[in-house]
Structure 1
Amino acid sequence: MQECDPDHLVLAIENGEFERASEILARDCQNRCVCSVSALQVTALQVAAWQGRIDLLDRLYEKGAGVNDVDKIGRCALYYAAHRGNVDVTEWLLQRGGYVDAKIGVYSCTKGIPYTSLTKACFVGRKLPLPVCWGRTPLHQAVKNNHADVVRALVEHGADVNAKDERLVTPLLLAGSATDRDDLKEMTKFVEIVKILVAAKAFVNIIHPDTGTTALHHAAMLGSAEATEILLSNGAWPMYKCKSSGSTPLHIVASTGSTETLMVLLEAMLPHNIDTRDQINRTALHRASYRGHRECVRALVEHGANLAATTKTGTTVVDAIFAHIPRPLAFITEILDSCVRTTNNSPLETYDNVLLAFGYLIVGFALSFAVLFHGNDQFRDFWRAVVRTVVMMMGEYEYEELFSAENGRGTFLPITSRIVFFAFIMLSSIVLINLMIGLAVNDIQGLEKEGHIRRLLKQAEFVAHLERVTSHRIFRGNWLHPRLRMLLHSRRDIPTKITLFSRENYFHHVNHLVESPSKIPADLVEALFLLATKTFHKNDNLTGKNIEIGDTKLTSILSNLEEQVRELKIHLSQFDESEIVETARIQNKACTKKTVNS
């Protein structure tokens, strides 16, 4: 009889002993195994749904097991199926009347359960998942664990997509909470879940009660451009600030470095919102600079982000770029240069536009003259009017013939005719001709400048090629005269001596002894960085030799720097405090005496 107890059946299914469970069900003639067991009142059907065993579910259902039975904390079979992501079991339960919006919660206590039952089945159900928050539905669990197929099945059977748990969290706010952004398959499921929930009229601007974030914040954190676009197209707020840090989705996506998602947000927001600040006055451009996301910085600057924006600590965007992005000077120069827009219209396009404008004017004035001078034989029809207008543009105006008293009978509206004729002279003879000449000259100047740049480029390429040739080992051989070899060496080598001084504030105290030098220029710092990080990749025959030469030069530079620092320390150690004070006193006395004498 003990083998037919429901405790043994539940434990067998929970431990994966399905053959033993089938044997117990076969011996159960009185349907006693469908009852709940242990202090949690777990049923065999719930555990079978958790294990995904439809064959056991069929047998238990035939014996009268309840599909919607819940344990003491409200977990039903549909809850376990949604939690595990088993869409087949979910469909099986829904087809047999499973309650799609069942919420977990404590419904009763274990006061009426005998102590013997508690001790005998104390281990039953310990492997089952425990709820994180009361009031969650199977849809909450399926969304939280990123089970897209189960979410679709639940929504198709009428699940409430805006159901709230005890903390007022909806399923959409749980989307992506257990998703790895580097897993393409999981990210595809996340996008599908967002699409299903939004299509079912889920509230996209629901706010998480703890963090103050929205579903758009979560999509930005995961760097999903597709999910971001779905939420924005359904009315999500792109500039909503979360209460914990004041970050908008734009701040978050700038920190994560997803350029594609950033572009989706920038296209959906108003331009003046790009410099929105968080709680410590950081903009999205600050966040991208701190993380070293070069492409995000570039995109934000191109859309009008402020490089001079300052945080509460006085840090500008430029300071952040110099501190966190390699080769900052070249990077900023490249960005600013790319923001300059130039029109590269060819001369032919310019001439076509001018000729098109000429054609419109000719037709317009020809029609005007045909109406105003309809009595004149030269403007009798449209074709003659066009030909005569073209001739007049060449300077053959024949004013007297048009406005003479003899031909006055053919002039219609004499005052209007003279105004139109004067406008024709101004546009055709003065404005348009000079404009065309000016455009032609401008195009010629552009071509000359482009040709000059190409000539300089060819010269630079020739010089570089000549340096490579003269650097060949043939020209370093002993067959050359020493003076000729020294001449070639002096022409192709650049001295790499670098002089360093101590800080400027120290020389402020000893400026009467040593002249205070300026700081190391930014371009020199850039050059040093490039020299330190450069990798020598040459031809296959010279790869080893070039690497050896590069290492030798770099070692020489570092040795030179160490020697100069050592000399500087020795030089400064010669002046102790007493000598500095004494020298200052002598100089002050001399200055006072000189003032008195003067």
Structure 2
Amino acid sequence: MSFKKETPLANAVFWAARKGNLALLQLLLNSGRVDADCKDCYGTTALMVASYSGHHECARELVMQGADINLQRETGSTALFFAAQQGHDDIVKFLFEFGASTEFRTKDGGTALSAASQYGHSKVVETLLKNGANIHDQLNDGATSLFLAAQQGHVTVVRQLISSGAKVNHLREDGTAPLWMAAQMGHSEVVKVLLLRGADRDADRKDGSTALFKAAFKGQNKVIEELLKFSPSLGLLKNGSTALHAAAMGGNPKTVSLLLGANADPFVANNNNDLPADLTKNDRILWLLRPSIANGS
């Protein structure tokens, strides 16, 4: 957040709001020489700064002095957005008492709920949902609050959102599901919750990869174990690749062993013969477990 101000007095107001210096803030506002809604060149207000910094009394003073709760800076962020992003539930509740709206969006489509979900602030998520936040709002790329929480591994927030009606199989515009993202990031507990709540384990992304395939490529063995508990199927991608091929391509010998133990077939041909120029990590596990090598020929 920028703290560039237009006047020395506005600069002092922003400093007081950022530091939580209530006495100075009151002195400046009561002087009548600076407005409670003074802004910097990006449209940031003192209330946004106090909300971001978690200074409840300063936020209250600014509102009592007439600050507009729902002003947006150039990015579209509001005081509520900043309080939610930083997990300041007391300020979020206070802002709602004075008419804060959950409908304002940032330029990338973000809302207070998406911000709180992304950063794992479960108390704030609960408060926002109770005050009308739309659980189905999406960023411009189609990512929902559930997607963002799953991506970051915030299992408590994932449970909250699903219990409140979030769609577990909603895809981002590039075809990525919350399960796929949680799998590639290695968030095994989130993967477990998503599967239990109806996530499609074998849904493929636009590039053809599944959650199991991506987890294998990344060597996310705990995730793979959860995926295999849910279904023993190892899957076959449209190009003929399997999770075993993915593990080999990623150079993950422990994952290869795990999948072989789960009865992965090392003799399935891989129709995608592209390999990085530099064959390392056990020669990419015997060149993608090619049948000719596996047969000893």
- Please indicate the TM-score interval, normalised by the length of the shorter structure: 0.7 to 0.9
State which of 81, 84, 87 in structure 2 corresponds to 1:85. 87
Distance between the aligned counterparts of 2:176 and 2:57, measured in 1? 43
Q: Does 1:277 align with 2:237?
A: yes
Residue type at the aligned position of 1:277: L
Contact 1:102–1:137 (CA under 8 A) maintained in structure 2: yes
State which of 223, 238, 256 in structure 2 corresponds to 1:297. 256
Matches within 5 A, 1:444-593: none
Cα drift, residue 96 of structure 1: 3.2
Q: Does 1:203 align with 2:205?
A: no
Q: Name the counterpart of 1:238.
A: 201
Distance between the aligned counterparts of 1:260 and 1:24, measured in 2? 52
Q: 1:143 to 1:17 in 2, by over 3 A?
A: closer
Cα drift, residue 295 of structure 1: 4.2
Contact 1:162–1:170 (CA under 8 A) maintained in structure 2: yes
Contact 1:225–1:264 (CA under 8 A) maintained in structure 2: yes
Give CA-to-partner distance per residue, 1:540-565, whole Å, 9 cap, x none. xxxxxxxxxxxxxxxxxxxxxxxxxx
Q: Name the counterpart of 1:45.
A: 47
Residue type at the aligned position of 2:283: A
Q: 1:278 to 1:57 in 2, by over 3 A?
A: same
Contact 1:221–1:253 (CA under 8 A) maintained in structure 2: yes
Residue type at the aligned position of 1:7: A
Distance between the aligned counterparts of 1:104 and 1:325, measured in 2? 46
Residue type at the aligned position of 2:245: H
Contact 2:10–2:34 (CA under 8 A) maintained in structure 1: no
Q: Name the counterpart of 2:293.
A: none
Cα drift, residue 174 of structure 1: 1.9
Cα drift, residue 141 of structure 1: 1.5
Cα drift, residue 58 of structure 1: 1.9
Contact 2:16–2:25 (CA under 8 A) maintained in structure 1: no
Residue type at the aligned position of 1:8: N
Cα drift, residue 60 of structure 1: 1.5
Q: Name the counterpart of 2:122.
A: 148
State which of 202, 216, 240 in structure 1 corresponds to 2:179. 216
Distance between the aligned counterparts of 1:22 and 1:83, measured in 2? 26
Q: Name the counterpart of 1:7.
A: 10
Q: Does 1:158 align with 2:132?
A: yes
Q: Does 1:169 align with 2:172?
A: no
Distance between the aligned counterparts of 1:80 and 1:287, measured in 2? 40
Contact 1:216–1:238 (CA under 8 A) maintained in structure 2: yes
Q: Name the counterpart of 1:55.
A: 57
Contact 2:184–2:220 (CA under 8 A) maintained in structure 1: no
Distance between the aligned counterparts of 1:256 and 1:32, measured in 2? 55
Give CA-to-partner distance per residue, 1:452-509, whole Å, 9 cap, x none. xxxxxxxxxxxxxxxxxxxxxxxxxxxxxxxxxxxxxxxxxxxxxxxxxxxxxxxxxx
Cα drift, residue 293 of structure 1: 3.6
Structure with bigger gyration radius: 1
Cα drift, residue 209 of structure 1: 0.9
Q: Name the counterpart of 1:262.
A: 224
Distance between the aligned counterparts of 2:219 and 2:142, measured in 1? 31
Unaligned runs of 5+ in 1: 106-132, 180-186, 327-521, 523-598
Residue type at the aligned position of 1:323: D
Contact 1:10–1:43 (CA under 8 A) maintained in structure 2: no
Cα drift, residue 30 of structure 1: 4.2
Q: What RMSD over aligned residues (CA atoms) do the two structures have, in Å?
A: 3.0
State which of 310, 313, 322 in structure 1 corresponds to 2:269. 310
Cα drift, residue 227 of structure 1: 1.0
Contact 2:241–2:272 (CA under 8 A) maintained in structure 1: no
Q: Name the counterpart of 1:138.
A: 112
Cα drift, residue 167 of structure 1: 3.0
Cα drift, residue 83 of structure 1: 2.1
Between structures 1 and 2, the one with greater helix share: 1
Cα drift, residue 202 of structure 1: 0.5
Q: Name the counterpart of 2:4.
A: none
Q: Name the counterpart of 1:64.
A: 66
Determine helix, strand or coil for the equivalent of 2:35.
Answer: helix
Distance between the aligned counterparts of 1:314 and 1:173, measured in 2? 32
Q: Name the counterpart of 2:292.
A: none
Q: Name the counterpart of 1:193.
A: 157
Q: 1:324 to 1:165 in 2, by over 3 A?
A: closer
Distance between the aligned counterparts of 1:70 and 1:229, measured in 2? 38
Sequence identity, in percent? Answer: 26
Q: Name the counterpart of 1:104.
A: 106
Give CA-to-partner distance per residue, 1:357-401, whole Å, 9 cap, x none. xxxxxxxxxxxxxxxxxxxxxxxxxxxxxxxxxxxxxxxxxxxxx
Residue type at the aligned position of 1:242: R
Unaligned runs of 5+ in 2: 1-6, 275-279, 287-295
Residue type at the aligned position of 1:23: L
Contact 2:52–2:79 (CA under 8 A) maintained in structure 1: yes
Give CA-to-partner distance per residue, 1:73-109, whole Å, 9 cap, x none. 432110111222223322322333321232235xxxx
Distance between the aligned counterparts of 1:57 and 1:11, measured in 2? 11
Q: Name the counterpart of 1:431.
A: none
> Structure 2 length as normaliser, TM-score?
0.79
Distance between the aligned counterparts of 1:314 and 1:68, measured in 2? 55
Residue type at the aligned position of 2:188: A
Distance between the aligned counterparts of 1:17 and 1:300, measured in 2? 54
Q: 1:145 to 1:283 in 2, by over 3 A?
A: same
Matched residue pairs, number?
275
Distance between the aligned counterparts of 2:149 and 2:53, measured in 1? 24
Cα drift, residue 233 of structure 1: 1.6
Q: 1:104 to 1:291 in 2, by over 3 A?
A: closer
Distance between the aligned counterparts of 1:81 and 1:36, measured in 2? 19
Q: Name the counterpart of 1:336.
A: none
Larger RCO of the pair (alpha carbons < 8 Å, separation 6+): 2
Contact 1:85–1:142 (CA under 8 A) maintained in structure 2: yes
Contact 1:257–1:296 (CA under 8 A) maintained in structure 2: yes
